[in-house]
Amino acid sequence: VEGALKCESLTRSLLFHNDNKKDTATTATRLSAWTIFQLARHAYTTANFGIAHDLFTQKLLSTSSSTEKSYLWLSALSKTAKAEDIISKEGILGVSRASMLLDSSIAHIQSLSSLSGVGSQLDDYGGDDDEDED
| C-alpha torsion sign, points 105, 106, 111, 116 | positive
- 89 vs 63: CA distance, rounded Å: 28
| pLDDT-wise least confident of 26-40, 77-91, 93-107, 109-123 | 109-123
pTM for this predicted structure: 0.66
How do residues 19-76 score in pLDDT, each as one tens digit?
A: 454 444 445 556 788 888 999 999 999 999 999 999 999 888 877 667 888 888 999 9
- 120 vs 132: CA distance, rounded Å: 21
CA 95, distance to chain mean position in Å, is 20
> Is the pLDDT higher at 51 or at 132?
51
* pLDDT above 60 for 129: no
> Is the pLDDT higher at 6 or at 75?
75
Beta carbons within 8 Å of 18's beta carbon, 6+ residues apart: 24, 27
* pLDDT-above-90 percentage for the chain: 42
